[in-house]
Each structure stands twice: as structure tokens, then as C-alpha cells.
Structure 1
């Protein structure tokens, strides 16, 4: 029913839109919600997404294709808590078509899970001044990273008036999800920094409506025959 690309499997995520008058800072905001479209022009891939990030709560969530696939990242808290990645996608077998299933991949001491930002960190970017993107007056920032004979160029546009993120272009390695060398573009819209309902990060049983995050199919283990849904919330 839905054709999910490799970007979904890799757990991407990404985004932007402002309410009232939040201003993007050099450091990433600790809480935000944003929608957008991720594009790989050479592969002719277009992925609409919506994301919620709450650093203080230790969670992030990214939905793809209108919620056909969902990912949740729970940040590790240290000690024996290394965090976890969750993926909720339709899966088919010989008996059931497009069964909504939950998969879990735990973090480790060497690779602790963190929240997944969908905006770039501008701490290493240079301010190139005023620019225009598709008729929008913007502030343009750029970072060039040379590794061996491969040069990656990252260019970010912010609306000069509203300070809304507008466009992010990566020619090289994807700095958001760490994917392969390619050209990536992200068009952002609907950015805000409103409070986020904690239930947006809950994986629940469709019948009992109680948190069942521990019942996800752990990566490389036996499939658990259970339906899961993400409670729908609209910001």
C-alpha cells in the first residue's frame, strides 16, 4: 500500500514553522514542531514529513507520508539506560496485509540514542548575508566540509522577516541522518515552538489504549503478533 524508501528505515526526520515570534538561534531550540518535504533529486525521491522534538523530555518523533510510517527516539539517560529507537510501519505476511507493527532497536553504551533533530546546527556555519529563495527574502548560512577528495556543501535559508526556516540543501553526506553521499534538499513549513503533549511520544495498544512500548518487536528477535498505533495529535 505504501512504498517506504530507505530514508524511513534510516529514521530520518526533519522540519520547521513558527508561531507568535520564536527566533531561531545559533544553538538548536530545545522544543519544536515542524513539517516539510525531503527530496533526493537524483533519485527522484520526495518524502513529506512531520516532526516533534522535545529535548528536555528526551523524545523526538518523525512521521513520514502522512503517518504511514512513524519513528520515535527515546534519549538514553545514562547508567543502564541507553535509550531506544522505535519504528511503527505497515508490514505484510501471508495472512495479513499492511499490519501496523512496532520495531525496537535499543541503544548501547558505545552508541547511546539521542533525540533526532530535523534542523541543522548552525554553530559551524558562516553567515553569508542576504539572499533570496523562491521569491522569499532570506538570511543564508553555509558550511563547507572537506574530507579527503570529497567536499560537502551545506546551505541553509531562514526567512529574513519571520526567522522561519525555509530551505536546507546538502550536497554531500547527510548531516541529519548520516546517509550516503548525495544531494538532499529540505523545504520547511509549519514551524512552531508550542508545548508538546507528552502523549505524542506514546506507543499504545489500539484496543487497551495503554502504553505498550516494551512490547515492540526488538530488532533481530521473534516478531510479536500485536497491533500498535500512535495516538493521533494535531498541533
Structure 2
């Protein structure tokens, strides 16, 4: 596990975008696992900037997203499909047929989970998976207590997650109570994982995920068992770890 300390959110976004751009340059037809929420917006902006300058080409890239709210269609402004197009896809030359998200309008949970697992398999697996982390340690919408062995599944969101996402809606009552999420097993099968975190409110989750026991109570703690994980976080998010450890310029804990 490599850990890089960012000076601030902009620095975090540049460092994360550097890692993703290196993957695209090394393998132009790579498969990117993508995330939504506030954390990756700056990373997407940096990648768009480099695309506009001619430094990146997404023509052969495929993407699979972590999750989608159940009950929301792609035209709903709060859906993750809408988010991805507004913040990333519409601004680069990725082919629409190469972007995949769970279908939030599919009522048949078993059918949709099987379909999405099939997509991940059909594209050859994920080369680099981008992750944020919830204040309760969730990755994707894999809430505390989720089995590490799950693939795509329908999740009932915790009150903690609903509260955290309420800021994107007019009221807490409008936040969907369920979502389709790529499972932890699927995430762990990615060849490389990049986790980004910003802000003091992520400090406990990051500490428990990196230095705590590996337990379903902290879903991100499973990342300790992956052989190619990079964490890019600002000093606030890493504050509880930096108190106990130093992090070398190469990104390793001491």
C-alpha cells in the first residue's frame, strides 16, 4: 500500500489524475472503474484539462461505475449516470457505448446484479478502480457489515450514508433508500486500486481502514489485503495516521 500526502484538494486531484493518466498512457484500451460524489470531481476536471491540451485520449478506454441509486434514471439530475456525463463523459472523447453503470430503473434486483456482473467480466475486468471512502468506511455503497464475498448487489443505505448524501438533494427525504453497488469482491479483483480522501471528517475512516483490523464493520479495511493499492489524501484526512507514523516521499508508512 502506497500513501501520498496532498497539500490540499487541488493537489490531491492532480496527484490522483496523474495516476489515472499513467494507466491510460500505458494501456490505451484500459478499463477504468469510476466513482461519483464530491471527492473525484477535481480529478475529473484535471483529466478533462489534459484531454483538452491533447495529452490524453479516451477513445479506446472503457469505464464501469461503482454504483447507482435504485429508482433513478439517467435523466434524473441526482442520478450517478447524470453526474458522470455532466462532470466527465460529456467533456472527453470516450465512446458512450464504452461507459457502463448499473441501471437504477431495473426493479428486478437479481436480474440487474447478474447483468452488471456480466459486464465487468465481458470487458476483461478492471485495470484501475477509483474509490472514495465514506465516513463510516464504506466503499462504493458497501455499507458496514457487508460480506467481503459479494459481487454486484442491491444495498439498503445506512442512515449515516443518507445523511451524508442529503446535501445533494432538496431534503433528506428525497435521498433514495437503496442503490445498486459493485461488491467488495468485484472491487478487490481490480488490478490496481486508487483511493482518494479529503477532509478531517474522513480521518477516522481512513485510520481504521489502513491501521485497524480487517473487518466487515469497516468495509475499506479489506484493501489492506490487495497487492496494489495507492491512497492519495490530504493532511486533514490523514491527520490521525500522521500522528503515529511518518510517510516517506515514496508514499510508504514508517
How would you bin the TM-score normalised by the shorter chain? under 0.3
TM-score when normalising by structure 1: 0.24
Query: Which structure: greater strand fraction?
Result: 1
TM-score when normalising by structure 2: 0.23
Query: Which structure: greater helix fraction?
Result: 2
Higher alpha-carbon Rg: 1
